[in-house]
Amino acid sequence: DPQFGGPMAEAVLEVLNNKKVRGVITTHYSNLKLFAGNTPGLENASMLFDNAKMKPLYILEMGKPGSSYAFEIAQNIGLPKEVIQLAREKTGSNQNRVDTMLVDLEREKKTIYDAKVSLANQQNKAKNLVAENEKLRAFLDENRRVLIKEAKQEAQNIIKNANKLVENTIAEIKEKQADKEVTKQLRQNLHQELVKNTVPKEKPKPVQVIVGGEIVVGDWVKFTDSETTGQVLEINRNELVLAIGDLRSNVKKNRVQKISNKEAKKVIQSSASSFAGRMNDAVSGFRAELDLRGKRTEDALFEVEKYLDKAIMLGFPSIKLIHGKGDGILRRMIREYLRKYSQVNRMEDEHADRGGDGITYVYLN
């Protein structure tokens, strides 16, 4: 009977502690956990338990008692809920609070243990990186010393050879008594040797020339990797907002280069003649209906953005977005996203007989 077994076990433990006996005591008695926490010479310990997966981790943690997880395990093995609830009521509020506290404590211990393991892994990675960095630095230092030594040796050899060549040249000129043809030939040989040992100059890197200075609002620019042109509407640090026809697009500054107004006019005139034909083709090939079912929210919003821009450019009065019902998250995210567009007048659900709130009609200004 735990009512008598608990005090009996506590008395045994107290006598053993007074006699300075060492040992490991395993128990489920809650009174022993409290007794060990308040008595010098005794220390609580418990095995870590993953209360999410309801599995033991077989790791001993010193200093804190653990829970028996009686109710959690009972629920996990399929004991009826009314039986578990009745058992909680019979256990008493104080004991329930203690057990709940132990479960929370166990969860905190698991979190702390995971954090310790993660920190230890990061420290090991940092140590390995430091060690690799030291090895690399030592390797580079050794290579630098070897290269400097070889360069000095090469320079000494060049100087020695140059001195010998000059001395031989002077001696031959004297021996030939300054014959013009021989002197000319010797000078050419000397010049060739000098050119052979000359270090070639590096060509300067080409500097990109920006036509007319920095890019400002109102300038015309062209993409560096295509012939597409646009006019700058806004500048946000390293990003530009461009008007490309009826579309607005955000691009990085380094993707475009400024062009002159004269060149921009030529581009506009050349493209104007074919614009009407392209618009007719675009309108005939455009469907005012977009199916987004099965897509992730991020991918769906990206598709909506492209689709809406095209619909606005082509002048369509409304579009139909099929997102399905599900839990309603995709529908809510799409509608919140569309509210940011000033071109959107209103949004409505489809008729209940034809899809209801699984379809959104978007009416444009």
Are 22 and 95 in the same domain? yes
Q: Which of 67, 92, 121 is the last residue of a domain?
A: 121
- The per-residue pLDDT for range 170-207, each reduced to its tens digit, is 676 666 655 566 666 666 766 676 666 565 665 654 44
Which helix (H) or strand (E) segment holds residue 233: the answer is strand 229-236
Question: Sorting pLDDT into bands at 50, 70 and 90, what band is 57?
Answer: confident
Q: According to DSSP H, which parts of 285-365 are helical?
A: 297-314, 329-338
What's the 3-state SS for 5-59?
A: HHHHHHHHHHHHHHCCCCCCCCCCCHHHHHHHHHCCCCCCEEEEEECCCCEEEEE
Overall domain count for the chain: 3
Question: Sorting pLDDT into bands at 50, 70 and 90, what band is 360?
Answer: very high
What's the 3-state SS for 114-153?
A: HHHHHHHHHHHHHHHHHHHHHHHHHHHHHHHHHHHHHHHH
φ, ψ of residue 233 to 5 degrees: the values are -100, -40
Are 94 and 25 in the same domain? yes
| Token pair listed for 282 | 């675009």
Q: Which of 63, 96, 121 is the last residue of a domain?
A: 121
Are 67 and 14 in the same domain? yes
Q: Which of 212, 246, 272 is the last residue of a domain?
A: 272
Residue 152 falls inside a structural domain: no
- The predicted structure's pLDDT at residue 280: 59
| Token pair listed for 78 | 């399929």
Give residue 254's domain range.
Answer: 220-272
| pTM for this entry | 0.29
How many Cβ atoms are within 10 Å of 106's Cβ, its own excluded? 22
- The predicted structure's pLDDT at residue 200: 61
Q: Is 231 exposed, middle or buried (0-12, 13-18, 19+ CB in 10 A)?
A: middle
Average pLDDT score over residue span 106-116: 76
Are 231 and 339 in the same domain? no
Residue 279 falls inside a structural domain: no
Residue 192 falls inside a structural domain: no
Handedness of CA 3, 9, 11, 17 (dihedral sign): negative
Are 259 and 323 in the same domain? no
- The predicted structure's pLDDT at residue 158: 75
User: Minimum mean pLDDT among 53-67, 108-122, 180-194, 323-337: which range?
Assistant: 180-194
Which helix (H) or strand (E) segment holds residue 276: the answer is helix 261-284
Residue 13 falls inside a structural domain: yes
Residue 356 falls inside a structural domain: yes
328 secondary structure, DSSP code: S
Residue 332 falls inside a structural domain: yes
Are 265 and 309 in the same domain? no
Out of 39-48, 97-106, 166-175, the most confident range is: 39-48
Are 55 and 76 in the same domain? yes
Are 267 and 353 in the same domain? no
Q: Torsion over CA of 163, 166, 168 and 174, rounded to 10 degrees?
A: -140
Contact by Cβ (8 Å): 323, 334 = yes
Residue 105 falls inside a structural domain: yes
* Angle at alpha carbon of residue 43, lines to 41 and 46, rounded to 5°: 160
Residue 341 falls inside a structural domain: yes
Are 296 and 237 in the same domain? no
